Amino acid sequence: MISPLAYIDPEAKIGENVEIGPFVFIDKNVVIGDNNVIMPNANILYGSRIGNGNRIFPGAVIGAIPQDLKFHGEETTAEVGDNNTIRENVTINRGTAAKGKTVVGNNNLLMEGVHVAHDTIVGNGCIIGNQTKMAGEVIIDDNAIVSGVVLMHQFCHVGSYVMIQGGCRFSKDIPPYIIAGRDPIAYCGINIVGLRRRGFTNEQIEIIHNAYRIIYNSGKNVTEAIAQIKAEMPMTPEIEYIISFVENSQRGIIR
Three-class DSSP category at 79: strand
3-state secondary structure of 237: helix
**Are the beta carbons of 60 and 43 closer than 8 angstroms?**
yes
Is 141 tagged catalytic?
A: no
Specify the pLDDT at position 208.
Answer: 98
Task: Report the C-alpha gap between 22 and 149 in whole angstroms.
Answer: 30
Catalytic residue among 82, 119, 141, 173: 119
pLDDT for 28 equals 98
Q: Where are the domains of the chain?
A: 5-139, 193-246
Handedness of CA 206, 208, 214, 215 (dihedral sign): negative
Please give the Cα distance from 255 to 253 (Å, whole number): 6
Q: Which of 21, 63, 136, 194 is catalytic?
A: 136
Nearest alpha-carbon partner for 84 in 47, 116, 52, 114? 52
Instruction: Please choose, from the candidates 80, 75, 77, 76, the residue with its C-alpha nearest in 3D space to the C-alpha of residue 60.
Output: 80
Residue 136 designated active-site: yes
Contact 175, 144 (CB under 8 A): no
Predicted confidence (pLDDT) per residue in 39-55, tens digit: 999 999 999 999 999 99
Chain segment 60-72, per-residue pLDDT in tens: 999 999 999 999 9
Calculate the alpha carbon distances from 232 to 125, 151, 229, 235 in Å.
32, 36, 5, 9
Give the chain's length.
Answer: 255
pLDDT of residue 198: 96
Q: What is the pLDDT of residue 18?
A: 98
Query: How far apart are the C-alpha atoms of 186 and 139, rounded to whole Å?
Result: 19
| Amino acid 168: pLDDT | 97
pLDDT by residue, tens only, the chain of 255 residues: 999 999 999 999 999 999 999 999 999 999 999 999 999 999 999 999 999 999 999 999 999 999 999 999 999 999 999 999 999 999 999 999 999 999 999 999 999 999 999 999 999 999 999 999 999 999 999 999 999 999 999 999 999 999 999 999 999 999 999 999 999 999 999 999 999 999 999 999 999 999 999 999 999 999 999 999 999 999 999 999 999 999 999 999 999
* Coil vs helix vs strand at 230: helix
Q: What is the pLDDT of residue 250?
A: 95
115-116 and 91-93 strand pairing: parallel
Superfamily of 193-246 according to CATH: Udp N-acetylglucosamine O-acyltransferase, C-terminal domain (1.20.1180.10)
Burial of 166 (0-12, 13-18, 19+ CB in 10 A): middle
**Active site (annotated) includes residue 100:** no
Catalytic choice (68, 113, 118, 125):
118
Q: Note whether 48 and 27 are within 8 A (CB).
A: yes
Cβ neighbours of residue 24 under 8 Å, at least 6 residues apart? 3, 6, 7, 8, 38, 39, 40, 41, 42, 43, 44
What's the CATH superfamily of 5-139? Answer: Hexapeptide repeat proteins (2.160.10.10)
Name 189's Cβ contacts closer than 8 Å, sequence gap at least 6. Answer: 178, 179, 212
